[in-house]
Amino acid sequence: MNNRRLRAGKSTAHSVALMGMMTALAFVLSWIESMFPPILAAAPGIKLGLANVVVLMMLYIGGPMRAAAVSLVRVLMVGLVFASPSAMLFSLAGGALSLAMMVLAKRLGRFSPVGVSMIGGVFHNVGQIAVAMLVLSTTALVGYLPVLMVAGAVTGLATGAAATGVLRHFKFSKEGYRA
Amino acid sequence: MPERSGNVHMFKRNEALLLLGVLVVAALVYGLARLTAPELADGARVRIQVDGETPVDLDPSLYAARGEPYTIIRNVDDKERRNVIQITKQGVRMAEANCLDHSCERMGILRPGAGAIVCLPHKLIVSWVPAPGSAPEELDVVLQ
């Protein structure tokens, strides 16, 4: 295979194919995750975040915009196929804040993909709680924040480790991914 | 086969500090939540609030004695939203809900001072509040 064609964006057709494949992978991982029982029933919202492995990989391989596109399409597909519209709203909020903070963390250059993923995990849950409190007009959910923050960091560590295992097979220069 | 770059490290000092930072912030938020939570003396009420409307405060001793659940049925956009709340001496729990994910049913028994039961699809919150008169600034909320 010609490595030059592996660079995201070099070929439009390849870029579209790559993003389509990543979106499908993220969707399947979300579906698999939906079949697991809740990790901690007393604190709703704690999930493994398997789809974040793909978003994180896309962030490093294709950049923030492509990662955002994959994340957005994945959330919309999950919301339409096997989740509720309200769940889709919370996922969008959490996903947007998570990705924004991951982009910032990556640009700082002080964290590995594991650290970036941990930050993403924490802020995903923070975003969901914030939107839930706005929608329900209550501060009663603040009590769940400590558990969700720690859970986000731990699950982010796991998903970051998984993504790093794949990213190690890609070449990265100081400027970023290169074919 | 592409060469391994080897320049993507797994977990180093910054990540350890990050994890420690998250634990510290989580502990601070927990401490702040506990400090600002109202004292729940005898006679605490079960508050049920739906979609930001005026909350309903229930005397748990009455419902625990009767053994009857408190049922909320609302019709929103021609769809019935049903939540059945069971109040016992141990606490309150969501016995049944016809929402899509049923996560509120899995939250278990909510004891006084232990957070809230939330049914997000139905925009319903169940929580404990101080007894009437034990917190004068709460009276206006009850009277509305």
Nearest chain A residue (CA) to B27: A146
- Strand B56-58 vs strand B70-76: parallel, antiparallel, or unpaired? unpaired
- What percent of chain A shows pLDDT beyond 90? 51
Which of A147, A149, A96, A156 lies closest to A126 in space, CA to CA? A149
Q: Chain B closest CA to A171's CA: distance in Å? A: 5
Asked if pLDDT for residue A46 goes beyond 90, the answer is no
Nearest chain A residue (CA) to B110: A42
pLDDT (tens place) for every residue of chain B, 144 residues total:
333 344 455 567 889 999 999 999 999 988 888 887 766 667 788 999 988 788 889 888 888 888 888 888 888 888 889 999 999 877 899 999 988 778 788 888 888 876 788 888 888 999 888 877 654 443 334 333
What does the pLDDT average to over A48-64?
Answer: 92
CA end-to-end span of chain B: 71
Instruction: Among A8-17, A135-144, A158-167, B2-11, name the one with the lowest average pLDDT.
Output: B2-11
Write out the two tokens for B61: 């001793």
Rounded to an integer, what distance in angstroms lies between the CA atom of residue A57 and that of residue A52? 8
**Count of residues making up chain B:** 144
Whether A1 contacts chain B with CB within 8 A: no
Give just the sign of the alpha carbon dihedral B59, B60, B65, B67: positive
Q: Chain A closest CA to B65's CA: distance in Å? A: 26
Span A58-106, pLDDT tens digits: 999 989 999 999 999 999 999 888 777 777 888 899 999 999 999 999 9
Rounded to an integer, what distance in angstroms lies between the CA atom of residue A104 and that of residue A119? 10
Look at residue A43 in the predicted model and tell me its pLDDT: 64
Closest Cβ opposite residue B107 in set A41, A113, A172: A41
What is the pTM assigned to this prediction? 0.78
Q: A63-91 burial string, b = 16+ CB within 10 Å, else e? A: bbebbbebbebbbebbbeeebeebbbbbb
With an 8 Å Cβ cutoff, are A136 and B120 in contact? yes
- Amino acid (1-letter code) at residue A79: G
